Chain A
Amino acid sequence: MSLANFVTIGQFVPLDTPIHRLDPRVKLLLSLVLLVFIFVVGKLLPLLALFVLAMVCAALAKVPLMHLVRGMRPILILIVLTVVIQLFSTSGEPLLSFWGLTITKEGILVSLFVVLRLILLVSISVILTYATSPLDLTFALESFMLPLKRIGFPASEIALMMSIALRFIPTLLEETDKIIKAQTSRGADFSSGGVIARAKSFIPVLIPLFVSAFRRADELADAMESRCFITGEKRSRLHVPKLGLNDFVAVALCVVAMAGVYVWSIL
């Protein structure tokens, strides 16, 4: 399995879907609001409804199911860990007990809750980055930081920096893959031993990766300057996103849905 398959957050796929066509500012804002909203909803069923909503968005954006599932892999350990802890440490009506450990009905509910929240968190991020180009995403961030620009905050530079960082994710993942393969062919072992041994075995991967990243940064700076980039100068853009009717409809639908979920959760 290659690393690019492992990390699916931040992998943009250019398609023409209703979600892709939304203004990036709307997408980013709604995603952020939703991310916070997940932690406001205090009941299981309304949260499940939110999950269904997220899956509808995923389907609209044509995110393949496997892509979403793969997105969960990096947080798998986190999910397992929280489930185990919640399952055995929540007090309440006992359902099952063995080896002096008790699983309670409340424990099951709380674990389900936590898992659902984590899955939602990742799903929203995967959908957002799947359907929004890094350039658009950073454009949205830049427009949110615009008020700060007046007090001398380098909003445009930071946005450009982030879009370049996102652009380099696939390149660096590919390179990490190559280095791992090269070290494996020299007899390095990345999959046995304890946590510390495994972490140590990654040093011969990280060092060449860093050296190459710095070399890349040097060359990139030259290439950017050669293409007339000067820090702090005003730049225009090829795509200037404009708010359309679809954006207002999307916002309205989301507000209604969230209001509904919220009322349900406090009933």
Chain B
Amino acid sequence: MSNKGLRLLDFEGVTFNYQNQSAPAVKGCTFNIREGEFVSLVGHNSSGKSTIAKLSNGLLQPKEGQVCVYGIPTTDQERLIEIRANVGLVFQNPDNQTVASLVEDDVAFGPENLNLPPEEIRKRVDEALSIVGLLHLLKHPVHHLSGGQKQLVAIAGILAIKPKLLILDEATSLIDPKGRKQVLEKIKHLHKDGYAIVMITHRMEEVLLSERSIALEKGNIIFDGKPEDLFSNPPLLARAGLERPPLVQLVESLSGNGINVPFPKDENELVEALCRLK
């Protein structure tokens, strides 16, 4: 797709079957993610999105095909740590990702697993927390934080292992709108700072943030391309489990009435585009 940087994550003809399940959860999937890309992964419930996430860092191993991170197959047990340090996974429920009571201890968990010296751990913890803007909560108990803050701590915990790719598996679905906005804001910044992002989501406004969208249906990739192309194809959109967002509907009805604007990323861009019209 885009020609950004090095190939970071490679899926080649990957098929995966859970035990005691007749139909495979993921069927012959091929795609790759490059450094610095921002990809959204969409699909109905049970379409295999989480399975793809877990295949990406070797939590699950493909039955057929191969998953590689920077060319290293995830089946290489010797280099599993290297793979996981490059591909960070953030899950849905922040409560189930927190291992320690205090913010700084939780963020330190990853670097501690990498057996880094205490000074280096300290540095990484402070860095990660200042990236997500929670450095002032260093010594706070995690369970006193808001949902959005908890998820930011989970993201900091992943940033502390210094990954190149962040996969967020419906990471904003359990938190309140305010917290969600906070988290999305940080994700946008991370992308600007050069992290590759894969955002698994049901939400249109989150898909709109991405530069590329991959849609799954029953374990098959049914679309891989620009979000705009996905949105302008209603049957495909329905198969991907997404409704057309109000913004897209507005732009389309505008163009239906002869007002053509370039496809906007958010409301502000639309407003600006409209203002520039004569």
Q: What is the interface of chain A, defined by CB distance below 8 A to chain B?
A: 12, 14, 133-135, 163-164, 166-167, 170-171, 174, 215-216, 219-220, 222-230, 233-240
Contacts and interface: CB of A to CB of B under 8 A. Distances in A.
Nearest to B112: A235
Contacts of A166: 101
B101 A230 contact: no
Contact of B101 (A133, A222, A228, A237): A133
25 contacts: A135-B102, A135-B105, A215-B96, A219-B91, A219-B97, A220-B97, A222-B59, A223-B89, A223-B97, A223-B99, A223-B154, A226-B88, A227-B109, A229-B109, A229-B113, A230-B80, A230-B81, A233-B113, A234-B115, A236-B111, A236-B115, A236-B117, A238-B111, A238-B122, A239-B105
Contacts of A216: 93, 95-96
Given A133-B105, A222-B54, A171 B118 contact: no
B59 A226 contact: yes
Nearest to B57: A226
Contacts of A170: 141, 143
Given A226-B84, A227-B158, A233-B113, A239 B97 contact: no
A238 B91 contact: no
Given A226-B59, A238-B105, A238-B111, 10 more contacts: A164-B99, A166-B101, A167-B101, A174-B143, A216-B96, A219-B91, A225-B59, A229-B109, A236-B118, A236-B121
Contact of A167 (B54, B81, B89, B100): B100
Interface residues of B, number: 43
B161 interface: yes
B104 interface: yes
B101 A12 contact: yes
Given A222-B59, A236-B116, A238-B105, A227 B157 contact: yes
Interface string B31-64: 0000000000000000000000010010100000
A234 B108 CA distance: 15
Given A226-B57, A227-B161, A238-B121, A133 B102 contact: yes
